[in-house]
Amino acid sequence: MYYAYLLRCADGTLYGGYTVDLRRRLRAHNGGRGSKYVRARLPAELVYFEAFETKQAAMRREWELKHLSREQKLALIAARPPVSQEEA
């Protein structure tokens, strides 16, 4: 499976990405080995994700998520139950 996801950084900003392993990617981000953007705004928490069968679909959704307004991203997050640590 592939995942498109949103993180909430410590400064309240939202970051979108894609991965094959949500837990490992979140650990990498919070360990300072993820993106430069998140590294400067630690800690980050996983607040939204979607699962996909193909890498192309996850990458397409990542692109869509990154182009949503902040308000649209917050609406997506609010429409889903909170992400638990077990899911991440």
Q: What is the pLDDT of residues 43-63, one digit of tens each?
A: 999 999 999 999 999 999 999
Residue located via tokens 């638990």: 84
Domains of the chain: 2-79 (3.40.1440.10)
pLDDT in tens, 15-41: 999 999 999 999 999 999 989 999 999
Altogether, the residues listed in the chain come to a count of 88
Nearest one of 40, 49, 50 to 9, comparing CA atoms: 40
